[in-house]
Structure 1
Amino acid sequence: MLDVDQEAITDGPVGRVLLVLAAPLVAQNVVYVANALIDTFWLGRVGEDAVAAVGLSLPVQSLLGATVVIGAVGTQILVSQRAGNDDATGARRVAGSGALVAFAVTAAVAIPAVVYAEELVALLGVDPALAGTTATYLALVIAVLPIGAVGDTVENCFTAYGDTRAVFHVSLASVLVNLVAAPVLIFGVGPAPELGVAGAALGTVLASVAGLLWILGYAAGIGRDTFRLTREAFAFDPALVREVVTVGAPLGGQRGVSEVVRVFVVGLVAIAGGAAGVAAYTVGARVATLAIVPALGMQQAAQSMVGQNLGANAPRRARRTTTVGTGMVVAGFLALGALQFLFAGGIADLLAPDLTATGRDLAVTYLRILGASYWALGGTYTLLAGFNGASRTRTAFVADLIKYWAIRFPIAVAAVPVATTFGALGVTVTPGLGWGVEAVFWAVAASNVLGFVGLGGYFLYTTRRGMFANAAERASGGAGSGAADD
């Protein structure tokens, strides 16, 4: 039922193929969320400081994790285009170059981060009592970042070929390893010593290694024949390395600019809303993380479909994939947002039953404001899939630069009093207007809506000027597209 052959990707019903491709990817993202909760669940039984140590390292992990996107997603886009053009040899060579890029780029940031983990933790303004355990957790998790990046890159090659079930299998195997390893290493079971926070980090390390070995087994033809890595894939090709970096770097930059703003916004929330405001913002962020999972799956599926159709010289179908996918996500997220608006109080009570009255009121307010913008947030992912699939990845970078730095952050600044210093980095905000923490909530929603509307307008403009036709000509080796009006 969930099998999609290459012919269906370039010739089957667009909506159905998108849903079938996206389903395992949605499940994969749900598994990722579950994996992230495992450490919190077990460390919550160790103590509050243990949970705080993991939570405090997350901003650095998120920022450094942006480098993974460069090789992983850049490779997916280029492999999908080669796959659509029936160029298996070219796809394998891109995969090898992409894996090299992923390892080199992530190692370049991981090594200094491991060496200077304590200094990075100090920049976050961590309580000295937590600094040691936070630095230990951060160093261990970041040390395995290059391994995870290579694994993600090879997984994305299977996604590019439409074999999204393989990716789900790998993610599930990784989570199962962490599910067993985390409690054993945290609490010390049998011969394993009790390692606490370090044990949680080691469980994550083992899960990453298991995931890499599993996907490499698939790529070697063990239990899977969708995509194969052969010896020829690992021949160094500077031109392909440059191509992967050219396509992937803007996406890494996109992730980076959004993560930096998120760190700053949390600081603004802490000043404008205190503990109640931070709790409300956290509830909203956790719900949004879960809610956006379907859009992420649809984006990954649409990127592969767009790339394959461009490689197959079908620009109109690539455009239709983007518009149909966006329409499906917008419709679904309108319904999802309406449910969140109606049941905001129940959601807040379920996730954080011990909130104060002020915190609960703020959480309900944020959930309702956020739910009203879900349709735009989800639709942005699939619109960007169209640009990314056409190798127009700089659009994603510019779109997020505008969305986060030109819209979200300036509005959020209005929440705090004038000339306020916030955050571990000691940033001084002079144009604060004292509008209160609700201004941050509105800043998030406004940036979602305005970002989608602006990106939608640009999508119409670029497609009328032949974006997909030009991309198809490049991806299919220069043949005329036959769709000049695309």
Structure 2
Amino acid sequence: MSDQRSAIVEGSIPRTLVSLALPLVVQNVVRVAQQVIDTLWIGRLSETAVAAVGLTIPVLGLLFALLVTPFVGTQILVSQRVGADDDAGARRMVVHGVALALVLGTLLGAVTAVGAPRIVRLVGAGPDVAPLAAVYLGTVALGLPLAGASDALEAGFVGQGDSRTSLWINVTTVAVNLVLDPILIFGAGPIPPLGVYGAALATVAGYGGGLCLALAFALGPRMRLTTRHLSFRADDARELLAVGAPITGRQMASQSVRVALVGVVAAAGGAAGLAAYTVGARVASVAVLPSQGLAQAAQSMVGQNVGAEQPDRARRTTRVGVALAAGLLAALGAVQWVAPGAVARLFVPDLSGDGFAFTVQYLTVLVYGYPAIGAVDLLLAGFNGAGRTQTSFVADLLKYWGVRLPVAALALPPTAAVSIFGVTLAPGLDLGMPVVFWAVTGSNVVAAIGVGAYYAHEVRGGLFAPEDADGDAEAAPATD
């Protein structure tokens, strides 16, 4: 497992960080491409089929947020053990991560499959959409144990510094899905056309294909898992939960506010506002792919250097990552700022009228927060690599619930009130859609300033320093 260790704890930080991040960025691009192609195939069935699958997206996003615990916990703890030259402990942690993913995935999948008809009605499915949405959600939910176990193994590879294997696992998952999509949706030879049910089966088969390849790599020379690593240790399980659970909380905090903002936008901007918000969200999700890849890579590098008791390299890794991510997103933002209309039409060619005007405005405003997004992603990767995942949870809780949603609610008309998750947002000041746009960008900037200040404080207090005999971090001189 230590093939990459020497480069991570001794080699050039920028070169190693970029080499680890590139496969992860490509992996994220592959996932986005899969979603687009998947939608194209389903779109050939009917608009109702597209609506049914689209309705399940936030539900599946919530389910996968709950599966983040074993994924992130495995990556961080494996990286720290590899850095400390504890390869046996790293392999054992991978086994614990897979076991937790299987248990969580099975429970979530079973509950969701049984309750799928009721769940889709709760999220607003009409009588024409609900049956198809329930079939799709219930079928995909049964594949959650496969997806969770595959992700945990993938996290083990990324933790040890092998991001290329992670890429191949994801490419296999996507390839199996895309090959089976047209066959199972429309039928071929003895296989009858299965429609939306076939699309769901193709997705589950993709999870299974990815897991098979991940197991083959894990049992082979890339990880060398054996039966002696199957022992259960309560301390390892507790540590995995302690490190991974806050990231699940972080995902829940952000996902819930994103859902809430849709209600605010619908009340404040109508169909035109919703179109602009949707396009802006899609553009931003693509723009931040480099930042997300760098953050995952930095998380592993910081973890290995913390394990190797090299706090200075952990600090420098974070600093270099912040500079790279902020610079890359600033460059992408510059293109978006110069030609927001062209970017909008690239994603939605037929957009016009108020929807187009709002979209151009939103894309322009988003740009000012792009460097901040990159900085926050990498600063939090530094905290995560050190095992301080609670910081990520608190940061996103304050960013989304403390800044973004309250400011965006000012766009609501004085006569309107939106109820989200049982919380009623008081009528706003009727400030219009620009307030929502600036709420998103402003929350990103505020988060960057707050997390940056807290990071500087914690570094001075020995964030990455090894613990002394009493379990306290030894303060180390900060160089950044």
Describe the superposition over 1:201-236 as per-residue Cα deviations: whole angstroms up to 9, x where unpaired: 111100000000000000010xxx232211122211
Aligned-partner Cα distance in 2 for 1:374–1:384: 16
1:200 matched to 2:196: no
**Distance apart, 1:427 and its partner CA:** 5.6
- Find the aligned partners of 1:114 and 1:13 in 2 and give their Cα distance: 48
Tell me the CA shift for residue 419 of structure 1.
Answer: 5.0
Matches of 2:476 and 2:257 in 1, distance apart? 40
Shift of 1:473: 3.3
The 5 A counterparts of 1:311-390 are 311-390=307-386
Q: Counterpart of 2:93 in 1: which secondary structure?
A: helix
1:458 aligns with 2:450: no
Counterpart amino acid of residue 195 in structure 1: L
- Tell me: CA distance 1:346–1:423, structure 2 relative to 1, closer, same or farther (3 Å): farther
Q: Please state whether the residue corresponding to 1:128 is helix, strand or coil.
A: coil
**Counterpart for residue 427 of structure 2:** 431
Which 10-residue stretch deviates more, 268-277 or 68-77?
268-277
Deviations 1:279-336 (A, max 9, x none): 1111111111111111111011001000111111101100110011001111111111
TM-score when normalising by structure 1: 0.95
**TM-score of the two chains, using structure 2 as the length reference:** 0.96
Aligned-pair identity in percent equals 48
Aligned partner of 1:243 in structure 2 is: 239
Please state how far the C-alpha of 1:437 moved relative to its aligned partner. Answer: 2.0
Name whichever of 357-366 and 434-443 sits farther off.
Answer: 434-443
Partners of 1:403 and 1:98 lie apart in 2 by: 29
Superposition deviation, residue 484 in structure 1 = 2.7
Letter in 2 for 1:71: P
Rounded to whole Å, the distance in 1 between the matches of 2:407 and 2:421 is 20
Contact 1:407 1:443 in 2 (8 A): yes
In structure 2, runs of 5+ residues without a counterpart are: none
Q: What is the CA distance between 1:274 and its match in structure 2? A: 1.3
Displacement of 1:138 in angstroms is 1.0
Counterpart CA distance in 1 for 2:417 and 2:196 is 32
What is the one-letter code of the residue matched to 2:63?
L
Matching residue within 410, 413, 417 for 1:414 = 410
Q: Is the 8 A contact 1:254 1:396 kept in 2?
A: yes
Supply the distance in 2 between the matched residues of 1:107 and 1:418 (Cα, whole angstroms). 46
Shift of 1:111: 1.9
Which ranges in structure 1 are unaligned for 5 or more consecutive residues?
A: none
* Whole-Å separation in 2 of the counterparts to 1:416 and 1:45: 37
Q: Where do residues 203-242 of structure 1 align in structure 2 (5 Å cutoff)?
A: 203-221=202-220, 225-242=221-238
Range with greater deviation from structure 2 (206-215 or 30-39): 30-39
What residue is the counterpart of 1:473 in the other structure? 467
Deviation at 1:362, TM superposition (A): 0.6
Q: Number of residues paired by the alignment? A: 477
1:76 aligns with 2:75: yes
In the TM superposition, what are the counterparts of 1:4-403 in structure 2 within 5 Å? 5-221=4-220, 225-403=221-399
- Structure 1 range deviating more: 239-248 or 142-151: 142-151
Say whether the 8 Å CA contact 2:417–2:427 is kept in structure 1: no
- Quote the Cα distance in structure 2 between the aligned partners of 1:132 and 1:434: 38
Call closer, same or farther: CA 1:453–1:188 in 2, change over 3 Å: same
Counterpart Cα distance in 1 of 2:474 and 2:413: 58
SS of the equivalent of 1:155 reads helix
Q: What displacement does 1:421 show?
A: 4.5
Cα deviation digits, residues 332-381 of structure 1 (max 9, x gap): 11111111111100011121121231110011111111112111112111
3-state SS, counterpart of residue 420 of structure 1:
coil
How far apart, CA to CA, are the structure 1 residues paired with 2:396 and 2:89? 31
- Alpha-carbon offset, residue 120 of structure 1: 1.1
Aligned AA (1:278)? L
- Give the match for residue 476 of structure 2: 484
Give the drift of 1:422.
4.1
Note the alpha carbon deviations across 1:160-199, whole angstroms, 9 max, x for none. Answer: 1111110111111111111111111111122221111111
* 1:434-483 CA-partner distances (Å, limit 9, x unpaired): 112222111111111101110000000000011111xx338xx9999986
Deviations 1:218-256 (A, max 9, x none): 0010xxx23221112221111111100000000011001
Residue deviations 1:139-176 (CA, integer Å, cap 9, x gap): 11122112111110111111111111101111111111
Contact 1:268 1:416 in 2 (8 A): yes
Deviation digits for residues 29-72 of structure 1 (CA, Å, limit 9, x no counterpart): 11111122222111111121111111111111111111111001
Separation in 1, partners of 2:197, 2:436: 35
Q: How far apart, in 1, do the equivalents of 2:443 and 2:334 lie?
A: 19
| C-alpha distance 87-426 of structure 1, shift in aligned 2 (>3 A) | closer
CA distance in 1, matches of 2:476, 2:467: 11
CA contact (8 A) 2:460 2:475 kept: no
Change (3 A) 1:421 1:427: farther
CA distance in 1 between counterparts of 2:75 and 2:4 reads 17
Change (3 A) 1:409 1:424: closer
Paired letter, 1:356: S
User: In 2, distance between residues paired with 1:7 and 1:68?
Assistant: 31
Q: Distance in 1 between matches of 2:474 and 2:230?
A: 36
Q: Partners of 1:180 and 1:384 in 2: how far apart? A: 37
Larger mean CA deviation between 381-390 and 227-236 belongs to: 227-236
Between 433-442 and 130-139, the greater mean CA deviation after superposition: 433-442
Moved more, 451-460 or 271-280: 271-280
Q: Is the 8 A contact 1:4 1:17 kept in 2?
A: no
- The answer to whether the Cα contact below 8 Å between 2:463 and 2:473 also exists between their aligned partners in 1 is no
Distance apart, 1:110 and its partner CA: 2.5
**Aligned equivalents of 2:39, 2:409: Cα separation in 1:** 31
